[in-house]
């Protein structure tokens, strides 16, 4: 099917038009990234005047210097790593054994436990009861609270459980005859056999943690504990309202636009570094487990 020489003239025309359209869509997807990068390296007044289109005007790293000299930027950056790595590890520690147990035929009340997990996908109590519960548990304003409260979700558990259920039972039986107990069956057989699914879930967890902001914003009052996304939002909110910041900086090296853009670039860089690795896995039917049982 990929031999272009076999295509008729009409087909070739169709393929070309298609390619142009895809190229346009791709460029418009990419453009905002180019745009904020260009803005972040531009002179403040050029950016404030809306002159930046493709490349930095009046190249400067002034915005970065200002951002990087802010202690809160660094502490929030470190916090994001803490939430991302800590949160992902805690998630896996809960999800992997849980999904395994839910996939076992001998589990008494298996239907009930599975339904209990799945039900939370259909109905949830909403923001307020969740928030009040966090407060009652004394988990406000703590690293542990934010990490544990989002450690688990029905989707990830069901995804992994479905994967475990698809593993031929002879693998488990062979291990069992060799004397493996449940923990050994899980750790030495199921986990290695489910590498794609586990990597997928790890990536889901990491991406969610890296990008999560709403509950961090609601639950964390101590500025020293906020992650990067909350910090970015604060900066946007503060500077946007700060008339003087925009006005008084004619000919300044940085402006509202360049400062926020440079924080955004700093926040995207780790995602970009990690992205090729992510992509390798999500192509292999990442959505499968969620869509069909």
Partner 1 sequence: MENMQNRMSWLKEHLRNEWQIYVMLAPTIIWFIVFLYKPMYGLQIAFKDYSIFRGVANSPWVGFEHFHTLFGSDQFLRAVKNTFMISMLSLCFGFPMPIILALMFNEITNQVFKKTAQTIVYLPHFISTVIIAGIVITAFSPSAGIVNTFLEWLGFESIYFLIKPEWFRPIFIGSGIWQEAGFSSIVFLAAIAGVSPSLYESAVVDGASRWQMMWKITLPAILPTIIIMLIIRIGNLLEVGFELIILLYQPSTYSTGDVINTLIYRQGLQGAQYDLAAAAGLFNATVAFVLVMTANTISKRYSRTSLW
Partner 2 sequence: MAGVELKKIVKKYGNTQVVHGIDLVVEEKEFVVLVGPSGCAKSTTLRMVAGLEEITGGEITIDGRVCNTIAPKDRDVAMVFQNYALYPHLNVYENIAFGLRIRKEKKANIEASVEEVAEILGLTEYLERRPADLSGGQRQRVAMGRAIVRHPKVFLFDEPLSNLDAKLRTQMRAEIKRLHKRLGVTSIYVTHDQVEAMTLADRIVVMQDGRIEQIGTPMELFNNPVNTFVAGFIGSPPMNQIDAEVQKSSTGYFVEIDGAKIKLPKLKELEGAEGKTVVVGLRPEHFELGKVKGLNNLPVELDLVETLGSEALLHAMVANTPFVVKAETNGSIDHLEDISTVSINTDLIKVFDKETGLAMGHPTSTNS
Residues 151-180 binding partner 2 (CB under 8 A) are 168, 170-171, 173-180
Name residue, tokens 């008084």. Answer: 248
Q: Return the CA Rg of the chain.
A: 25
Closest to 62 in 3D by CA, of 252, 265, 222, 276: 252
Q: Which of residues 185-204 bind partner 2 (CB under 8 A)?
A: 188-189, 192-193, 195
Q: Rounded to the nearest whole angstrom, what is the least distance from the CB of residue 189 to partner 2 in the complex?
A: 6
CA distances from 176 to 108, 233, 275 (A): 19, 53, 39
Q: Which of residues 126-185 bind partner 1 (CB under 8 A)?
A: 126-133, 136-137, 148-149, 151-152, 157-158, 181-183
Other beta carbons within 10 Å of 233: 16
User: From the list partner 1, partner 2, none, which binds 94 (C-beta under 5 to 8 Å, kind-based)?
Assistant: partner 1
Confirm or reject binding of residue 282 to partner 1 (CB under 8 A). yes
Q: Are 70 and 196 in contact (CB under 8 A)?
A: no
Q: Rounded to the nearest whole angstrom, what is the least distance from the CB of residue 170 to partner 1 in the complex?
A: 19
Q: Rounded to the nearest whole angstrom, what is the least distance from the CB of residue 114 to partner 1 in the complex?
A: 9
Confirm or reject binding of residue 232 to partner 1 (CB under 8 A). yes
Stretch that binds partner 1, among 28-36, 58-66, 167-175, 191-199 (CB under 8 A): 28-36
Q: Which residues neighbour 134 within 8 Å (Cβ) at sequence distance 6 or greater? A: 140, 145, 149, 219
CA distances from 43 to 32, 58, 77, 259, 261 (A): 18, 5, 25, 11, 12
Q: Are 197 and 136 in contact (CB under 8 A)?
A: no
On the 0-12 / 13-18 / 19+ scale of CB atoms within 10 A, 5 is exposed
Mask for 36-75, x = binds partner 1 (CB under 8 A): x--x-------xxxxxxx----------------------
Confirm or reject binding of residue 248 to partner 1 (CB under 8 A). no
User: From the list partner 2, partner 1, none, which binds 175 (C-beta under 5 to 8 Å, kind-based)?
Assistant: partner 2
Q: Which of residues 9-68 bind partner 2 (CB under 8 A)?
A: none
């Amino acid at each position: 099917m990929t031999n272009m020489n076999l295509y008729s003239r009409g087909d070739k025309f169709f393929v070309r038009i298609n390619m142009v359209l895809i190229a346009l869509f791709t460029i418009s997807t990419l453009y905002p990234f180019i745009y904020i990068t260009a803005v972040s390296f531009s002179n403040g007044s050029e950016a404030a005047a809306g002159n930046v289109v493709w490349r930095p005007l009046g190249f400067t790293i002034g915005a970065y210097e200002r951002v990087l000299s802010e202690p809160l930027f660094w502490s929030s950056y470190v916090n994001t790593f803490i939430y991302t790595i800590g949160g992902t590890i805690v998630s896996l520690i809960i999800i992997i054994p849980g999904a395994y147990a839910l996939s076992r035929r001998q589990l008494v009340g298996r239907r009930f436990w599975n339904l209990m997990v799945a039900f939370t996908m259909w109905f949830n109590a909403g923001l307020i009861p969740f928030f009040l519960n966090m407060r009652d548990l004394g988990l406000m304003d703590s690293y542990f609270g934010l990490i544990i409260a989002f450690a688990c979700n029905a989707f990830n558990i069901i995804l992994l459980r479905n994967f475990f259920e698809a593993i031929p039972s002879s693998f488990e039986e062979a291990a069992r005859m060799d004397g493996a107990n449940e923990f050994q069956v899980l750790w030495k057989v199921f986990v290695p056999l489910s590498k794609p699914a586990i990597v997928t879930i790890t990536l889901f967890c990491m991406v969610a943690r890296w990008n999560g902001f709403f509950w961090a914003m609601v639950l964390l009052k101590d500025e020293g504990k906020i992650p990067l996304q909350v910090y970015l939002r604060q900066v946007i909110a503060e500077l946007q309202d700060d008339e003087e910041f925009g006005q008084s900086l004619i000919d300044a090296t940085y402006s509202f636009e360049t400062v926020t853009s440079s924080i955004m670039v700093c926040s995207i860089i780790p995602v970009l570094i990690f992205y090729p690795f992510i992509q390798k896995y999500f192509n292999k039917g990442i959505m499968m487990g969620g869509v069909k049982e």
